[in-house]
Amino acid sequence: MQIIYHGSYCEVEKPEIRVGKYTKDFGTGFYCTILEEQAIKWARKYETPIINKYEYEENKDLNIKEFTLMTEEWLDFIINSRNGINHNYDIVIGAMADDQVYNYITDLMSGTITRQAFWELAKFRHPTHQIAFCTDKALECIKFIEAEKI
């Protein structure tokens, strides 16, 4: 059992997968993190910042993709996801392309920088973490504990 966090503008007792207007690192899903400080950053983007806390119990029967490092495979996965290419994973876990890294990815996708330049720039970024619950079956792995206004 692991504690995970979701930063939001409201209490999210029953998470659901919503298709947004923007593409995300690991595609459509409900995004959480093991890093409470990161969830606080997410929540502070809103007028009423709320941190939702969950218990996460991994289900080994699910199709889970975990990127333990920022690699070429991780980078290609994010580029594909941000280009709207779907995947078949229930859960995807790995580093987050924060605002600055996302800018580097955009520059790479547009040809403004090379892959080598991307990696030189990205290596100086702080560690981040995200878990994308991409299917309803994946959401069954998390149990709401509490929500706290920050």
* Rounded CA separation 89/64 (Å): 6
Predicted confidence at residue 125, as pLDDT, reads: 67
Q: Helices 99-110 and 115-122: crossing angle, nearest 10°?
A: 170
Predicted confidence at residue 82, as pLDDT, reads: 85
pLDDT tens-digit profile, the chain (150 residues): 899 999 999 999 999 997 766 678 899 999 999 999 989 998 999 999 999 999 999 999 999 999 988 889 999 999 899 888 999 999 999 988 766 777 888 898 889 999 999 888 887 666 688 999 999 999 999 999 999 999
Q: How many domains does the chain have?
A: 1
Tokens 């994308």 belong to residue: 132
Predicted confidence at residue 18, as pLDDT, reads: 79
**Strand 130-133 with 64-66, pairing:** unpaired
Predicted confidence at residue 109, as pLDDT, reads: 87
* Rounded CA separation 66/86 (Å): 16
Q: What is the DSSP letter of 140?
A: T
**Partners of residue 51 on adjacent β-strands:** 7, 148
Instruction: Check if the beta carbon of residue 14 is closer than 8 Å to that of residue 111.
Output: no
Predicted confidence at residue 100, as pLDDT, reads: 72
Q: What is the DSSP string of 84-113?
A: T-----SEEEE----HHHHHHHHHHHHTSS
**Partners of residue 7 on adjacent β-strands:** 51
Q: Which domain holds residue 36?
A: 2-149
Count of positions (residues) in the chain = 150
Q: Tens of pLDDT along 90-105?
A: 999 998 876 677 788 8
Give the CB-side neighbour count of residue 20, counting CA atoms within 13 A: 15
Predicted confidence at residue 122, as pLDDT, reads: 80
